[in-house]
Amino acid sequence: MSIIGLGIDIIENIRITKIYNKFSHRLPKRILSKIEFDQYQNCKHPVKFLTKCFVIKEAAVKALGTGINNGITFNQFEITNNEVGKPLLKLFNKAHNIAQLLGVRYIHITLTHERLYTCSVVILEN
């Protein structure tokens, strides 16, 4: 196995808070998959949830080497958790197709959420 993609993202939590306060009706639909949107509607800390999703997905598009453009959107990435809370990432549509072309077999994610910042690293392996 070898690393075929690496992405990292860090964001000031206040940035997402400000965007959320201004665009709370549009932001979740731009970032979240349908399943994530259902979770978001029932969560106690919606801004923290959006921040986590945003930073993981931003790191993922960097690992793919695409960024958010040319048909790649944040809702083509879906974050779930395993039974002990480890984040897992599923890809759909064009993001999934690009991952297949690159030979991605494993996706590793790490996430840290502190008072001021949230950071994620995504590693793609074949």
**pLDDT per residue over 48-86, tens digit each?**
999 999 999 999 999 999 888 888 999 999 999 999 999
- CATH number of the domain bearing residue 88: 3.90.470.20
Residue 24's CB is within 10 A of a number of other CB atoms, namely 12
**Three-state SS at 123:** strand
pLDDT of the residue at 58: 97
- Round to whole Å and give the CA distance between 58 and 60: 5
Q: What is the mean pLDDT of the chain?
A: 95
Domain with 57, as residue range(s), is 3-125
Mean pLDDT computed over 75-103? 95
Are 120 and 56 in contact by the 8 Å Cβ rule? The answer is yes
Residue with tokens 């731009």: 30
Residue with tokens 């064009």: 94
**Residue 1 banded pLDDT, cuts 50, 70, 90:** confident
Number of separate domains in the chain:
1
Annotated binding residues for Mg(2+):
9, 58
pLDDT of the residue at 4: 96
Annotated binding residues:
9, 58
